Amino acid sequence: MKQKYYFKTYKFKVTHVVDGDTVKGEFLIPKWWSFSPAHVPDRIRFIGLNAPEMTGGDSDAAERAKLFVFSHIGDKTIRVTIAIRKHSGDWKRGDFSRVLGILYPPYSRVSLNERLLRQGHARLFMLDEWIPAKTVSVFKAAEAEAKRKRRGIWNVPQKKAAKKHTWWFFWLTILCLSAIFVFLLS
Cβ(118)–Cβ(147) below 8 Å: no
DSSP 105: -
Strand, helix or coil at 93?
A: strand
Q: How big, in percent rounded to 5, are the helix, strand and coil portions of the chain?
A: 35, 30, 40
Whose CA is closest to 70, among 91, 94, 54, 92?
54
Q: What is the predicted pLDDT for the residue at 161?
A: 46
- Alpha-carbon distance of 29 to 41, in angstroms, equals 11
Scored b (16 or more CB within 10 A) or e, 42-60 reads bbbbbbbbebbeeeeeeee
pLDDT for the residue numbered 173:
79
Is beta strand 5-19 parallel, antiparallel or unpaired with respect to 123-124? Answer: unpaired
| pTM over 0.75, yes/no | yes
pLDDT in tens, the chain (186 residues): 566 888 999 999 999 999 999 999 999 988 877 778 888 999 999 999 999 998 877 789 999 999 999 999 999 999 999 988 888 888 888 888 999 999 999 999 999 999 999 999 999 987 777 788 889 999 999 999 999 999 999 997 755 545 555 666 677 778 878 888 787 877
- Residue 81's pLDDT is what? 94
Domain residue ranges in the chain = 5-154
**CATH class of this structure's domain 5-154:** mainly beta
